[in-house]
Amino acid sequence: MSDDEVDLELLELMRKRWGIGVKDEGPPETRVLGNAQFICDNSIDVALDMRSTKVAAQLVLDEMEKRDYSTKTWSEHELHPKAQDESTVNFIFTMDLLNFSFWSEKSDEHRFAVVYKSKRWTGYWSLVAILQRALEQDIPITSPDFWVDEEQCSDEVLRTVFSSGTDEEIPMFEERVRCLREAGQILQEEFDSSVVTLIEDAKGSAAGLVNLLAEKFHCFRDEGTFDRKKVRFLKRAQIFVADLWAAFDGEGYGEFNDIDKITMFADYRIPQMLHSLGMIWYCPPLENKIRRLETIESGHPWEMQIRGCSIWAVELLRREILKLKPNAKINAILIDFFLYDLAKEKEKDEADVIPHHRTRSIWY
């Protein structure tokens, strides 16, 4: 390049660095909530019941107040990390990187489970137990540098890390390995192998961090097409932000200036609870498929309607709770956490509720 030619790459970097010629698009938005409303407005197989939503709002508010439900509830669980430092940031990132697809077609006795500290853990808690067990065994499972070191972190080592107390191995093992390798490489190349640097690049914006995850990491890009429109769910990207916020009680690494932009996390447990509360209804063919425990493919219109309508249902529930108590410290995150805990309680009590829908996917 001659002295008279313009270095376009350098010029673009300077524009971004000093904001020259860069259009101000306003605060970051994830578009998840708007997309969920679009799905709900155009849904023909899943419907919401506003009368039941009003009743559920009073029930949820009363129960959350009785339990003094808050961000502190997250850290109170015996398996969640307690330290307020970078090790917890790394733990949460690893946890939510792998937080998908724990359901099993086997009985509770034979499904994938982890025995840790004399207790048997299944579902999401089996993953948390796996990470804690590995760290106690001096396996740096929450280190991005470890994930990309295929000698130290071989597939066989990872099979040992994810070993089960039953004959069933963890679902989607190969996909979990790919998520670790991909995330480790991207963190190494773009964020100095630091999850903290990733968080800092979002500049205190929850929506900005969600968008950054979706932009940089394919395994967080939870999107699809519904009625010829691109829609976003971003379950695991959003729950990473929410878990940071809860673990650090809204301070330090968990401080965000727009945390209420995070929606509920569209998975299979919350729709199950919303159905039991009478808030969400399925057309007969869909309900029959769910009750017969048949798999719904990821990206199928039924699955997308369940997820989109669930997000919008929790938003309507949040609004109804604030009508009942305008000063309530409530958002979609806390409602989601509460409904998830309620679902697990009902499962333990063997309550008569509809089964959760079955979709095998890395998205949830």
Catalytic residue numbers read 267
Give yes or no for a contact between 94 and 131, defined as CB atoms under 8 angstroms apart: yes
Cα dihedral 120, 123, 125, 129 in deg (nearest 10): 60
Distance CA 237, CA 199 (A): 12
Cβ atoms of 256 and 220 within 8 Å: the answer is no
Q: What is the DSSP string of 236-298?
A: HHHHHHHHHHHHTTTSGGG--TTGGG-----SSHHHHHHHHTTSEEE-HHHHHHHHTT-B--T
Task: Report, in angstroms and rounded to the nearest whole number, the Rg of the chain calculated over CA atoms.
Answer: 21
Question: Three-class SS of residue 163?
Answer: coil
Label the pairing between strands 280-282 and 119-121. Answer: unpaired
Q: What is the length of the chain?
A: 364
Q: Cα(6)–Cα(37) distance, rounded to whole angstroms? A: 46
- Structure tokens that stand for 363 in this block: 């998205």
